[in-house]
């Protein structure tokens, strides 16, 4: 029986996780499946239901939580996020590899449920670069920005707890590292 594989892309907001993940999905369309997680935050400009989240009310989230719908859930920047168990299990049953973007606390809890998960922590070249990226996104006010920087510090302090670390200075070289990790994982099924 093949192992039930998962790749978790971890790291602070705006570090470039979703760009790396999107490229990986393009390069390994037959092997990887992205998990669409649930959140109580509102969609930002350009986002809609299912892209990049299932956007639900807090009431709905709590209802799902009570039904044991989530593998893990976490409060990130004061909002709820959760990983649906059904999507992960269906992906594994289809013999595909899960890939998802998740925060540090969520990755640790996910790994308790699926210990074979491979965890890849994406680091910014510096906190200043991260701050610039937050600003460039234009999606956050100053208080939100400071909250995110604080969370980033907390998350970066835990980078060593994961299997791999990639510094996202230049997309091409960061992606080359991620690609190698994915190739090795897919080879060792
Ligand atoms: P944003 O709201 O900026 O898209 O994401 C905020 C953070 O939530 C990101 O660091 C992302 O990795 C994390 N996140 C997204 N989905 C989940 C999830 O299902 N569980 C957990 N624990 N974190 C998540």
What is the C-alpha separation between 140 and 132, in angstroms, rounded? 12
**pLDDT for res 140:** 61
Q: Is the pLDDT of residue 13 over 90?
A: no
The 3-state DSSP composition of the chain as helix, strand, coil percent (nearest 5) reads: 45, 25, 30
Q: Give how far Cα 35 sits from Cα of 104, 133, 156, 157, Å.
A: 16, 25, 24, 26
- Ligand 1 centre to CA of 101 (Å) is 7
**pLDDT for res 1:** 40
Dihedral sign, CA of 22, 27, 30, 31?
negative
Give which of 38, 163, 180, 144 is closest to 100, Cα–Cα. 38
Task: Give the pocket of ligand 1 (CB within 6 Å).
Answer: 13, 37, 41, 72, 74, 76, 81-83, 101-103, 105-106
| pLDDT tier, 37 (very low <50, low <70, confident <90, very high otherwise) | very high
**pLDDT for res 160:** 97
Angle between helices 142-156 and 127-137 (to 10 degrees): 140
Query: Residue 30 has which token pair?
Result: 């037959």
Mutate which of 39, 47, 100, 162 to test ligand 1's pocket (most atoms within 8 Å of Cβ)? 39
How confident is the model over 91-107, as a mean pLDDT? 94
Q: What does pLDDT average to over the chain? A: 92
38-39/164-167 β-pairing? unpaired
164-167/118-123 β-pairing? parallel
How confident is the model over 71-87, as a mean pLDDT? 93
């Amino acid at each position: 029986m093949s192992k039930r594989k998962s790749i978790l892309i971890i790291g602070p907001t705006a570090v470039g996780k979703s760009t790396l993940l999107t490229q990986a999905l393009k390069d390994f369309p037959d092997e990887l499946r992205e998990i669409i997680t649930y959140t109580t935050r509102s969609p930002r400009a350009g986002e809609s239901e299912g892209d990049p989240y299932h956007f639900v009310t807090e009431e709905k989230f709590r209802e799902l939580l009570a039904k044991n719908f989530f593998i893990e859930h976490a409060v990130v920047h004061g909002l709820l996020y959760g990983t649906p168990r059904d999507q992960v299990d269906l992906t594994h049953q289809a013999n595909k590899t899960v890939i998802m973007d998740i925060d540090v606390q969520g990755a640790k809890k996910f790994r308790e449920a699926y210990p074979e998960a491979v965890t890849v922590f994406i680091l910014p070249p510096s906190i200043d670069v991260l701050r610039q990226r937050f600003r460039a996104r234009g999606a956050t006010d100053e208080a939100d920005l400071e909250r995110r920087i604080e969370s980033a510090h907390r998350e970066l302090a835990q980078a060593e707890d994961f299997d791999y670390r990639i510094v996202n200075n230049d997309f091409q070289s960061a992606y080359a590292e991620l690609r190698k990790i994915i190739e090795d994982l897919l080879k060792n099924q």
